[in-house]
């Protein structure tokens, strides 16, 4: 469907110099990149002046939208005062201290210390290292394996990409590495067996987790990592009974639960944290993305006192705590994190998300009636629309046909930026979006789905391979 078009000067320069992540780079020279020039509120504008509703908050992260003057002023003030410093060797900055205090205040469980990183990938990478470090400190050198899930997304460093349970993060990259295990994805629509109720599905995959732990040996497994709602795996909302059931298994075998809140955190699901919405009881937490509303890179790991004391003991034995990043706790990022949390609180962003959630639910649920849609799922202000070739059998399209990416392109044509995750169209608009803007976003998506249906029928893409 995509046809070669003359590239603008900027597009040609981009193709000549930039290696794009998560992009079919073999096609980039033909289709050209969409070059974004500016943003305002929930809209971004390309170099031709066309406006788009940014229905993904960039990459699940620009919760306050674009051009927030309070954030710009906070950044400017911090850059003038202290544009950079680090936290190595017992150094500190006021912005890092203040942000750590604020995170402890809003945390869903008692937090002793906050470790800063530059991204969510680094935060989850750090979580693994800290789990290993803790177990070495506790005299459990074999308790090192980490359980993740099929279709999970936890980042793209060597270790966090190994935790990620998506094929494109492993194929061609020699991943996953050792010590990483993957258990079932809690997606009832896609993985429930014929005639199986949701309760039976939950019981089956929880038993599968228990069997995995007992087969590997509980004394070899340090942690399980999980996103409350699985974001980049397709906005997968697990059954209500899922987290309480797996928590029982983890507690029984002394396995900590790492809560990956990189996408879910800071109001996205209608609470400060996704774990509060989904009924998780985390041991530690990873955060990033909406931590600064994406106005600067920053990630964080939050740990309780008992785990922190294990780090202290090992530091005393070795002589130091040998982990950290040059930009971890960057003054700019921390100042923006402080300001973002202040704005979330002052503007009652969580209340706004809760107010809009029924409208979001109505509009996305209605999309399940569309001939191309197999399932429409949602939690708070995030959702996914899964496209299928056959609604009755849930049969997917041949991935090589690119139905999801082409539908996302139709969305762009109608002035909406959404993300194709395979054949799931993901939505995650800025949390400041108004009712009228949310209606407009869904209107544009509906038009794109109609275009996609016409294209699918014209190309005969519903046929089984």
Residues ≥6 apart with Cβ < 8 Å to 455: 1, 406, 410, 461
CA atoms lying within 13 Å on the CB side of residue 427: 30
Q: Tens digit of pLDDT for each residue in 270-307?
A: 999 999 999 999 999 999 999 999 999 999 999 999 99
The CATH number of 69-346 is which of 1.10.1740.10, 3.30.70.250, 3.40.640.10, 3.40.50.300? 3.40.640.10
The two tokens of residue 395 are 């049969």
pLDDT value at 87 more than 60: yes
With beta carbons less than 8 A apart as the criterion, state whether 265 and 289 touch.
yes
Looking at 139-197, list the stretches that DSSP marks H as alpha helix, in order from N- to C-terminal side: 158-163, 188-191
Could you report how far apart the first and last alpha carbons of the chain are, in Å? 19
Show me where the domains of the chain are located.
34-67+348-459, 69-346
For 249, the 3-state DSSP assignment is: helix
Per-residue pLDDT, 3: 52
Q: Tens digit of pLDDT for each residue in 6-33?
A: 899 999 999 999 999 989 999 998 889 9
Q: Tens digit of pLDDT for each residue in 117-148?
A: 999 999 999 999 999 999 999 999 999 999 99
Identify the H or E element spanning 373.
Answer: strand 373-379
Class of the CATH domain delimited by 34-67+348-459: alpha beta
Looking at 82-191, list the stretches that DSSP marks H as alpha helix, in order from N- to C-terminal side: 94-106, 120-137, 158-163, 188-191
Beta strand ranges found along 392-443 (DSSP E): 416-417, 419-421, 424-427
Q: Tens digit of pLDDT for each residue in 23-59?
A: 999 999 888 999 999 999 999 999 999 999 999 999 9
DSSP assignment letter at 31:
H
Residues facing 390 on adjacent strands = 395
Q: Tens digit of pLDDT for each residue in 430-453?
A: 999 999 999 999 999 999 999 999
Beta strand ranges found along 188-330 (DSSP E): 221-226, 256-260, 284-287, 299-303
Q: Round to whole Å and give the CA distance between 344 and 360.
A: 20
User: 237 φ, ψ to 5°?
Assistant: -100, 115
This prediction has a pTM of 0.95
Per-residue pLDDT, 464: 82
| Same-fold call for 34-67+348-459 versus 69-346 | no
Q: What is the mean pLDDT of the chain?
A: 97
Mean pLDDT of 338-359: 98
For 130, the 3-state DSSP assignment is: helix
The two tokens of residue 237 are 């909302």
pLDDT value at 4 more than 70: no
């Amino acid at each position: 469907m995509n046809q070669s078009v003359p590239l603008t000067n900027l597009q040609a320069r981009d193709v000549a110099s930039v290696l794009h992540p998560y992009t079919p780079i073999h096609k980039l020279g033909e289709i050209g990149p969409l070059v974004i020039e500016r943003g305002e509120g929930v809209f971004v504008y390309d170099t031709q002046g066309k406006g788009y509703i940014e229905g993904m908050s960039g990459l699940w992260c620009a919760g306050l939208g674009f051009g927030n003057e309070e954030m710009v002023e906070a950044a400017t003030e911090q850059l003038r005062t202290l544009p950079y410093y680090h936290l190595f060797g017992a150094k500190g900055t006021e912005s890092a201290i203040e942000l750590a205090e604020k995170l402890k205040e809003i945390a869903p469980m008692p937090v002793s210390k906050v470790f800063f990183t530059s991204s969510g990938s680094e935060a989850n990478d750090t979580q693994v290292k800290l789990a290993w470090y803790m177990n070495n400190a506790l005299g459990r050198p074999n308790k090192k394996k980490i359980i993740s899930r099929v279709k999970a997304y936890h980042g793209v460093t060597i270790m966090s990409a190994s935790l990620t349970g998506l094929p494109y993060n492993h194929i061609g990259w020699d991943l996953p590495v050792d010590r990483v295990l993957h258990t079932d994805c809690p997606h009832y629509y896609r993985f429930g067996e014929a005639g199986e109720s949701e309760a039976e599905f939950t019981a089956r995959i929880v038993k599968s987790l228990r069997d995995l732990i007992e087969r590997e040996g509980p004394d070899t497994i340090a942690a399980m990592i999980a996103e409350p709602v699985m974001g980049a795996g397709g906005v997968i909302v697990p059954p209500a009974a899922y987290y309480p059931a797996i928590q029982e298994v983890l507690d029984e075998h002394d396995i900590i639960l790492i809560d990956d809140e990189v996408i879910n955190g800071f109001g996205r699901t209608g609470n400060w944290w996704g774990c509060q919405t989904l009924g998780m009881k985390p041991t530690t937490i990873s955060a990033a993305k909406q931590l600064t509303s994406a106005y600067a890179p920053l990630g964080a790991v939050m740990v309780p006192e008992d785990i922190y004391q294990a780090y202290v003991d090992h530091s005393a034995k070795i002589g130091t705590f040998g982990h950290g990043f040059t930009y971890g706790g960057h003054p700019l990022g921390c100042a923006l994190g402080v300001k973002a949390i202040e704005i979330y609180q002052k503007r009652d962003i969580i209340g706004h998300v809760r107010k809009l959630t029924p409208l979001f639910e109505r509009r996305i649920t209605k999309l399940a009636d569309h001939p191309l849609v197999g399932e429409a799922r949602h939690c708070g202000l995030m959702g996914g629309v899964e496209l299928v070739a056959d609604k009755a059998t849930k049969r997917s399209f041949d991935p090589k046909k690119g139905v999801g990416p082409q539908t996302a392109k139709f969305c762009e044509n109608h002035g909406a930026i959404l993300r194709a995750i395979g054949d799931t169209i993901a939505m995650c608009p800025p949390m400041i979006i108004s009712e009228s803007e949310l209606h407009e976003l869904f209107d544009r998506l509906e038009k794109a789905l109609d275009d996609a249906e016409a294209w699918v029928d014209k190309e005969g893409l519903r046929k089984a391979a």
